[in-house]
Structure 1
Amino acid sequence: MAWRSSGATNELLIDNLARNGLITQARVKQAMLGVDRAHYAPFAPYQDSPQTIGHAATISAPHMHASACESLLAYLRPGARVLDVGSGSGYLTHVLAELVKPGGRVVGVEHIEPLVEMGIRNTRKSAEGRGLMDSGGLRYVNADGRLGWPEDAPYDAIHVGAAAVAFHQPLIDQLKAPGRLFMPVEEGNTQHIFIIDKKEDGTVTRKRDMGVRYVPLTDAPR
């Protein structure tokens, strides 16, 4: 149904995603309605497809952002702390911040410094984004996301927006108990989303989900 979900406006895109069953939760729909994708995707913002943002990076298709939010939703409560690894354009980082306000905090980690600057510029295009940044509810940092961001840990939820070659232990260590990590992982010539849950007693489980195709989670370009 993804190919039928594009729209001429942000509202039509989100409505079509919901109509086609790609958004099922009202909170996710409301958050995505509140973040205009045109502020983050410069070419075809309301198509349900990935778009290039430069620096060998992409902004994922809207239905993938919806899937990530719905998978993490039980942990995206007001006041929650969230880490977004590979924040790129800043779009999903902003959506996640909408889902944990008031009182929540989202850190977007990006290893390409021009993309950190892009995320800040994009988020500040809207009054809502400026408010989140000025209040400390959302910020972007330049760092190796494979190492997480210990300064604000532990996190209720962690999203990884690029394909990892391993289950990076620092990210699991920085999860709260309970907490959830959503990440694509390379397995040979394929990639799958993995849902990693840390239970209250600290035990960790992994569940393989859908097959995907993400850009790799790599070292910063030299």
Structure 2
Amino acid sequence: MNPLCHVIWLAGFAHLVAGNFFNNDPAPNCNEGNLDVQVFSGKHHGLLKLGKNPMDYLVDHLNESLDLESQLPFKAMRAVDRGHYTTWRPYANCITNIGYGAHMLSPFQQLMTLDDLAEELTEGKKVLDIGSGNGYFTALLAWCVGKTGKVIGIEHIPQLVQRATHNVVSGNPEFVKDGRIKFVLGDGRKGYADEAPYDIIHVGGSIEDIPEGLMDQLKVGGVMWFTIGNAKAMLTNNRRTESQLAVVKAHKRNEKDWDEEFLGRLQRLAALASVEEQKYHYHPNGFYDEDDDKFDNAMRR
């Protein structure tokens, strides 16, 4: 990927999470209203008027703004409509709270991550998505690996596993029909040995070190995408602290060794945590589903 893109991505991420990311706003820095949403691009801020196909408008806008090495991310996002995966401003280019202390990253960030993995995300690959949340990014990965590929999404919140399965059945039922996507309940820090080895492992939360045994579940020649740094120090009593995380892609050379490719720095990303830590740090006002009235009330206290 063009290094400038990572600079733009990181700048955009810092802008989007500034202010209300860790308070009660379910979609920080997004405008109210059904038709107009704030869109961030590498060139400007502005309002995107949504029409009959808001997903196309959003993807077209980001395609004009980003200089990615591959068109794969844009094709995937166009095929997997965010409106089937979240009820909170699905076409806004911002981080969205999906309930239970979990967040859905912005389209901007998801495109950048897919671009980082575009060379490896080919037909027939097997992928482990750790921290699958509402299933949206898992579904993007499933589109990329095609009918002969398989993506396992692992999540430790039972309600989110159920929600992700429902979302895929609603939005992309073909992924379920051809068996290319599967959601399981478990501690993602331990991976998912039942389906190992994997060509790609995507770690959806920041980590301080690669969890023991996780690299063993990666094929020789496979890659692991993750952000690493002192993630837990970033949140204390629900307050943000200044910290930076390294975005890394590890290439496994043999059963014991791997090379780490530094892709850039990320200002903030929620840590890969236990359920208890997630409850305490990331959702102090309630541990609710995004479709629950209690969630709506908690977000607006």
Common topology (TM > 0.5): yes
Q: Of 144, 154, 175, which aligns to 1:132?
A: 175
1:186 deviation in Å? 2.5
Q: Is the 8 A contact 1:165 1:217 kept in 2?
A: no
1:24 deviation in Å? 4.1
1:210 deviation in Å? 2.2
Residue-by-residue CA offset, 1:137-181 (whole Å, 9 max, x unaligned): 101000000111111111111111111122113221111111111
Partner of 1:116: 161
Letter in 2 for 1:219: S
Q: Is the 8 A contact 1:116 1:140 kept in 2?
A: yes
1:78 aligns with 2:123: yes
RMSD over aligned Cα atoms: 1.9
Partner of 1:195: 249
1:201 deviation in Å? 7.2
Letter in 1 for 2:259: T
Q: Is the 8 A contact 2:244 2:265 kept in 1?
A: no
Following superposition of structure 1 onto structure 2, how do residues 22-101 of structure 1 map, counting pairs within 5 Å? Answer: 23-101=68-146
Partner of 1:104: 149
TM-score (norm 1): 0.91
Q: Is the 8 A contact 1:193 1:212 kept in 2?
A: no
Equivalences, count: 220
Give the whole-Å Cα distance in 2 for the aligned partners of 1:201 and 1:151: 18
What SS does the corresponding residue of 2:117 show, helix, strand or coil? helix
Partner of 1:204: 258
Give the whole-Å Cα distance in 2 for the aligned partners of 1:124 and 1:163: 29
Q: Is the 8 A contact 2:216 2:255 kept in 1?
A: no
Name stretches of at least 5 consecutive residues in structure 1 with no aligned partner.
none
1:179 aligns with 2:222: yes
Residue-by-residue CA offset, 1:112-154 (whole Å, 9 max, x unaligned): 111101101111112xx21211321101000000111111111
Give the whole-Å Cα distance in 1 for the aligned partners of 2:69 and 2:94: 19
Give the whole-Å Cα distance in 2 for the aligned partners of 1:18 and 1:160: 25
TM-score (norm 2): 0.69
Letter in 2 for 1:174: Q
Bigger shift: residues 143-152 or 158-167:
158-167
What SS does the corresponding residue of 1:170 show, helix, strand or coil? coil
Name which one, 1 or 2, has greater alpha-carbon Rg: 2
Q: Of 11, 15, 18, which aligns to 2:56?
A: 11
Residue-by-residue CA offset, 1:193-220 (whole Å, 9 max, x unaligned): 2211112675301233222422111112
Give the whole-Å Cα distance in 2 for the aligned partners of 1:135 and 1:72: 23
Give the whole-Å Cα distance in 1 for the aligned partners of 2:57 and 2:201: 28
Distance 1:120 1:23, change over 3 A: farther
1:47 deviation in Å? 1.4
What SS does the corresponding residue of 1:125 show, helix, strand or coil? helix
What SS does the corresponding residue of 2:60 show, helix, strand or coil? helix
What SS does the corresponding residue of 2:275 show, helix, strand or coil? coil
Give the whole-Å Cα distance in 2 for the aligned partners of 1:37 and 1:27: 17
Give the whole-Å Cα distance in 1 for the aligned partners of 2:245 and 2:67: 20
